[in-house]
């Protein structure tokens, strides 16, 4: 009790902080669920898979927005004020989180950066026009199932320490989920193993981890800056690349405008595979495992049709 009192007084003075295992102390009561706010739907899915009935999870985004340009709503501020844990991807993805947390004024809030410890892939410039860079590296780590397993473990650890009364449940749920994740990952590897072409153009630079894990080659990117449009020169260069290298598939995303991928498809005959980076972005992708299956199936079918 004395430790909890000292911790509370410290956090009231210091404000919100990013946690480590030594920092977190139990603060949830057994009578009410652990209140968790997450930035993205993928984190909501994992928090619910781990926490079950012992957690109440609110996602600030729905799966249809761009995580780069999202603007928090007043209801987001209210949710963060009431939360015990806030789960973020980090790595420079949710640039709007720090100001949201500051404005919420929740002194006891514990911010969990789920990408912690994952080696980031440096952003690669396709041309001098590109400004879509993150200083730490590309933040779309969750699209690699092996990185996802690390993120799941961070969430489990945070819940276990914040709510030790249900630690056994959290650990058991985590172990079961990681087994399911491994199984779906192996199915995905097998499905993509024999596709006749492994080179793609991507709409938005969200796919380097997915591409590396499934041995795909990204030959070009349509969007070179967040919220911008590609220049005529860049589009011409992409068209030349697609024709020269016989690239037959463009990976687009449901969260993005399809006008430019459709233009490239008309000019080159390439197929468009519309995928989603977030669970809930398309029907049948309500969970991370559903999303992984869907993306791999759609991509495999597009590559096989070539």
Please, are residues 303 and 196 in contact by the beta-carbon 8 Å criterion?
yes
Q: Which of 109, 98, 149 is nearest to 23 (CA)?
A: 109
pLDDT, tens digit, for every residue of 256-268? 899 999 999 999 9
**Tokens representing residue 119 in the block:** 């080696």
How far apart CA 228 and CA 217 sit, in angstroms, is: 24
Q: Which of 292, 303, 21 is nearest to 177 (CA)?
A: 292
How far apart CA 54 and CA 169 sit, in angstroms, is: 9
Rg (CA), the chain: 21
Q: Which of 38, 85, 94 is nearest to 66 (CA)?
A: 94
How far apart CA 195 and CA 52 sit, in angstroms, is: 38
b/e code 245-263 from CB counts within 10 Å (16+ = b): eebbbbbbbbbbeeebbee
Q: Which CATH superfamily is domain 2-114+123-185 in?
A: Nitrogenase molybdenum iron protein domain (3.40.50.1980)
| CATH 3.40.50.1980 domain span(s) along the chain | 2-114+123-185, 196-304
Q: Which CATH superfamily is domain 196-304 in?
A: Nitrogenase molybdenum iron protein domain (3.40.50.1980)
Q: Per-residue pLDDT for 68 more than 60?
A: yes
* pTM across the whole model: 0.86
pLDDT of residue 24: 54
pLDDT, tens digit, for every residue of 157-176? 999 999 999 999 999 999 99
Q: Per-residue pLDDT for 81 more than 60?
A: yes
b/e code 29-43 from CB counts within 10 Å (16+ = b): eeeebbbbbbbbbbb
pLDDT range class, residue 134, cuts 50, 70, 90: low
**Tokens representing residue 66 in the block:** 């761009």
pLDDT, tens digit, for every residue of 7-40? 333 333 444 445 454 455 455 445 699 999 999 9
pLDDT of residue 62: 87
């Amino acid at each position: 009790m004395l430790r909890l009192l000292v911790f509370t007084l410290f956090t009231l003075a210091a404000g919100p902080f990013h946690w480590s295992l030594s920092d977190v102390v139990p603060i949830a009561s057994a009578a009410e669920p652990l209140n968790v706010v997450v930035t993205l739907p993928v984190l909501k899915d994992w928090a619910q898979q781990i926490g079950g009935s012992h957690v109440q999870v609110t996602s600030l985004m729905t799966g249809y927005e761009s995580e780069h340009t999202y603007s928090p709503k007043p209801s987001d501020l209210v949710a963060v004020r009431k939360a015990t844990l806030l789960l973020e991807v980090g790595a420079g993805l949710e640039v709007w989180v720090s100001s949201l947390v500051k404005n919420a004024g929740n002194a006891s809030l514990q911010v969990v950066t789920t990408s912690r410890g994952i080696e980031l892939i440096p952003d690669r410039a396709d041309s001098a026009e590109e400004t879509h860079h993150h200083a730490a590296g590309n933040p779309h780590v969750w699209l690699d199932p092996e990185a996802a397993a690390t993120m799941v473990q961070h969430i489990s650890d945070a819940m276990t320490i914040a709510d030790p009364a249900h630690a056994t449940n959290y650990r058991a749920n985590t172990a079961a989920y990681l087994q399911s994740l491994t199984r779906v990952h192996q199915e995905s590897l097998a499905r993509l193993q024999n596709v006749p072409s492994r080179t793609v153009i991507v709409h938005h630079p969200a796919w380097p981890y997915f591409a590396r894990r499934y041995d795909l080659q990204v030959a070009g990117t349509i969007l070179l800056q967040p919220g911008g449009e590609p220049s005529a020169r860049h589009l011409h260069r992409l068209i030349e690349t697609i024709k020269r290298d016989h690239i037959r598939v463009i990976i687009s995303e449901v969260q993005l405008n399809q006008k430019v991928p459709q233009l490239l498809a008309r000019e080159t005959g390439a197929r468009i595979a519309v995928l989603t980076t977030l669970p809930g972005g398309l029907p049948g992708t309500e969970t991370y495992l559903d999303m992984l299956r869907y993306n791999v199936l759609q991509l495999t079918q597009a590559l096989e049709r070539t």
